[in-house]
Structures are given as C-alpha cells and as structure tokens.
Amino acid sequence: MIILRSTLFQVYFWIWSAFTATWMVLLLPLPRRFNTAALTFWSKGILFGLRWIAGIRIEVRGRENLPTGPALVAAKHQSMFDVFSQFALLPDACFVMKKELLNVPLFGWHGLKAGMIVVDRAGHSTALKKLVRDTLERMTEVRQVVIFPEGTRGDVGVPGDYKPGIAALYRELDLPVTPLALNCGVHWPKGWLRPPGTIVFHYLPPIPAGLKRGEFMRELQTRIDAATKALEDEGV
C-alpha cells in the first residue's frame, strides 16, 4: 500500500508542480504579491496531496511563535519539503537558496521573482556580505527569511553541522531568531517512498537578540537538535 500511495503521490506532485510553474509564467510581469499568492497556492496543493494520497498529515506546533512580521527563521534541514512547505505556513516566506538552483527550468525564474536570497557558496566572504545585505533588504519588505544553518540536507538522527551564515545575520540584523525543528526526513526521505504518518513543524520560542556569537550558536543548535530528536523519538 505504501508503494502504491507513494507512486500516486509522486505522479500528482510532478503534474501539480509542472502545471503550477507553467501558468505562473503569466505572473512574471505582475507585482510580486501575485507570485507569492501562487507559491502559497502551490504549497497548499502539495499539502493536500500528502494528506489524501500519501496519508501524511501536517501538524504545526508552537503557533504562538509563528512570526508574522519581519523575522529570521533558522530551520532544521532534512528534505526538500522543508523549503516549499513554508510558503503555506508563513505569511511571506523568503529563502536563502544556492546559486545552482537558478539553473532549474522555471524554478529559477520564479525564485528570482519571489525575491529569494541567492548565495554563491563558493564566494566565501563576498557571499556572506551579499547574504547580509540582501536579508536586510528583505526585512524592509516585512518578510520572514528562512535559512537552513546546516547549509545542506542532513540525515534523520544525525546532529547538524551549523555554518557561520546564521551568526552573521543574527549579529547584523539585531533581531530574535525563531528556531524551527521538524521531522520531514522521516516522511519525505530521499527517493520516492513517502511513509504515512505526521510531519510536524515545531516553531520554538525565539532566541533573543544580543547574545555573543558562541553563546548564540550553542543555543540555536541545542534547541533545534533537541526538539528534532524529541520528534524522532515520538515516532509520529
């Protein structure tokens, strides 16, 4: 049954995504808010397919910590679903994405139109300065910037290796950071199988601004990894 439901969901996912990305081309000349609405619609369509085809529910915990204004969200990274799910959960999500994704047909166009923050990971200090500059600009647009401190997807049950980009943003923006724990990798692992169950997004209490770099990084990693492990142990 899992094989059948997973296969049907994959067919649905790619048809839905291709259909949405294609008609979204018509929105490229229009103001960004139309692009944002379309991305939200696309993301909610995926959540619908997960629930009714793959048997995967979505649960949001810590709703009182969900940012609604300009904010910085630091999320665990286990799967591609970590990214586009946030279009359905946050008012105006903006992501830090690697430069290579701009080469993906249609996706790159829509990413630029959506004002995603593009980072050349080979750029080192130059890339870090651009990351800070672009994030400051997005904050003036009242957006929720989502960054994955690990930089790349990790395996379920493996603590992350947190990169310095988040510390630079924390210092320069002087804003609280909302940690986000999740268990997407359990139900959206690499490959095509989608085991049924519940994907949980747990928005943790914000880490206040003003901590020293080392203290902030320890607090961030401790909170995210502990809450993520709790979800894994819960076995939802």
All domains in the chain, ordered by first residue: 2-234 (3.40.1130.10)
Q: What is the pLDDT of residues 57-73, one digit of tens each?
A: 999 999 999 998 899 99
Q: Is the pLDDT of residue 18 over 70?
A: yes
Q: Which residues of 156-189 are buried (b: 16+ CB within 10 A; e: fewer)?
A: eeeebebbebbbbbbeebebbbbbbbbbbbbbbe
- pLDDT at res. 192: 87
Contacts of 189 (CB under 8 A, 6+ apart): 79, 156, 195
For the chain, the average pLDDT equals 91
pLDDT, residue 33, reads: 93
The pTM of this model reads 0.92
- In DSSP notation, 161-182 reads ---THHHHHHHHH---EEEEEE
Indicate whether 104 pLDDT > 80. Answer: no
Q: Is the pLDDT of residue 149 over 80?
A: yes
Q: Which residues contact 187 (CB under 8 A, 6 or more apart)?
A: 54, 56, 194, 195, 196, 197, 198, 199
Instruction: Identify the weakest region by mean pLDDT among 112-121, 185-194, 210-219.
Output: 112-121
Q: What is the structure's pLDDT at 123?
A: 63
Tell me: pLDDT of 50 over 80: yes
pLDDT tens by residue, 198-214: 999 999 999 999 999 99
Residues 85 and 45 sit within 8 Å (Cβ to Cβ): no
Token digits of residue 159 = 């603590």
Q: What is the pLDDT of residue 124?
A: 66
